[in-house]
Copies of this chain bind each other. A is one copy, B any other.
Amino acid sequence: MTRVHNFNAGPAALPLPALERAQRELLDYDSTGMSIMEHSHRGKAFEAVHDEAISLVRQLLDVPDDYHVLFLQGGASHQFAMVPLNLLPPGKSADYILTGGWSEKAYQEAGRVGTVRIAASTEVDKRYTRIPRQEELQLDPSAAYLHMTTNNTLFGTQWHWLPDTGNVPLVADMSSDFLWRRIDVRRFGLIYAGAQKNIGPSGVTVVLARKDLIDGGRKDVPVIFRYATHAASNSLYNTPPTFAIYLVRNVLAYTVETGGLDEMERRNRHKAGLLYGAIDERPDFFLAPVENESRSFMNVVFRLPTEELEKRFVTEAAREGMVGLAGHRSTGGIRVSIYNAIEVTSVERLVEFMKAFVARA
C-alpha cells in the first residue's frame, strides 16, 4: 500500500494512526463483538467514545465550563442557518464580516432568517485577498452577534487577531482552522467547525457555545434546530453520526499523544513557512495574491504565470504522488491545504517539486 501526499481542501487527509486504529477495530470494537457503528448511541461503548471526544476538545482548547461542546449534523452550511435561527430574534440585526465565499454564504443564509448587516468586506472584483483591520469594521453595538470566518478556505486568508466586539457575542466559523492551535474560547460566544478539514471525516460539526447564549436562544423554531435541545441532551436528542464522532475521537487522541496543540502549532507554522518561503523565493513565478499579514497557515494559494503551467503543475505533481492541488473551481490557481494531518515531509516533498518545476519551466 502506498499512501499519497494528500493536499485536499476538505474532506482532507487524516492522520494514518487514527485510520489504522479504526481499521483494526472496525469489525470488533473493544472486544464487544461488533463495530462501534453497530452499537446503540445510548449504550456504554459509544457513550465512552462520545465522552472522550468531548473531553479531548475541552482539554485541547481549555474550554471553560460554561461552554457546551456539541457534535451536530449538517455541516457548517447547516450552521449558517442554525446560528440566526437561534441567535437572531425578530427586531434585532446581526453583523457579518465578509472575507470570502463562505462568509458570503453565511451572510446570505442569515438574511433568509432575519435582518443582517455587513460590518466589513474586503471584496474587490469578487476576490478577497486580505483580512480587514479593526478600524475598518463598522460594528453595530446593538447587534445580536458578529459573525466572522476565521480561515477562508477558498482564498487562503486567515485572521491573526480578533475583533473587539464589546458586548456583542462573537460567532466564528472555524471550519478550516479549528484546533490548528490554541485559542482563547472566552473571546467567542459560539464557534462552529465542520470536522472534515482538521479533525475528522465529513458528517459531523463541532459547536462550542456559551451556555447563557444558547439557553437564551429563540424558542419559536423547530426543536431540532435549537442548540438548547442538543445541549440539554448532550448531543443525543436524536441519533448522532456515531462513526464520525468515533473518528474525531481517534484523531484528537492522536493529537494529544503527539504533543497537543503547542506541537501542532509549531508544525503548522513550520509547514506554512516552508511553502511561503518557496513562493517568496520566486515571486516572478509563484504569484501570491494574498497580502502578507493575512496569509493562511491552512490553505496556501498561489498562481503560476499561465493556466497552462498551472495544469502541468497539478498533473506532474500527481504523477509524483502529490494530489489535491488544484484551486477551488470558483478561484482557479493552485491551493495547498496543509491541515493538521499533513506531515512536514509531505510539504518538503512539495517544496522540492516546486523548485524543480520552476527550474525546468
Contacts and interface: CB of A to CB of B under 8 A. Distances in A.
Nearest to A43: B8
Given A222-B81, A222-B112, A321 B73 contact: no
A113 B11 CA distance: 33
Given A222-B81, A241-B241, A37 B8 contact: no
B201 A242 contact: yes
A112 to B, nearest CB: 5
A320 to B, nearest CB: 12
A127 interface: no
Nearest to A77: B238
Interface in A12-40: 12-14, 16, 19-20, 22-23, 26-28, 32-35, 37-40
A26 to B, nearest CB: 4
A77 B42 CA distance: 16
A202 B80 contact: no
A120 to B, nearest CB: 24
B22 A26 contact: yes
A4 interface: yes
Number of copies of this chain that the complex holds = 2
Contact of A224 (B80, B240, B329): B80
Contacts of A241: 73, 201-203, 241, 244
A204 interface: yes
A181 interface: no
Given A224-B80, A243-B201, A27 B16 contact: yes
A107 to B, nearest CB: 12
Given A78-B73, A204-B203, A222-B81, A11 B26 contact: no
A27 B3 contact: yes
Interface of A: 1-4, 6, 8-14, 16, 19-20, 22-23, 26-28, 32-35, 37-43, 73-78, 80-81, 85, 108-109, 112-113, 194, 196, 201-204, 220-225, 237-244, 247, 321, 323-324, 329
Given A2-B28, A34-B323, A81-B222, 20 more contacts: A2-B33, A3-B28, A3-B34, A4-B33, A8-B39, A11-B38, A11-B39, A11-B41, A16-B27, A37-B201, A73-B241, A75-B238, A75-B239, A80-B222, A108-B223, A194-B239, A201-B242, A202-B241, A203-B203, A243-B243
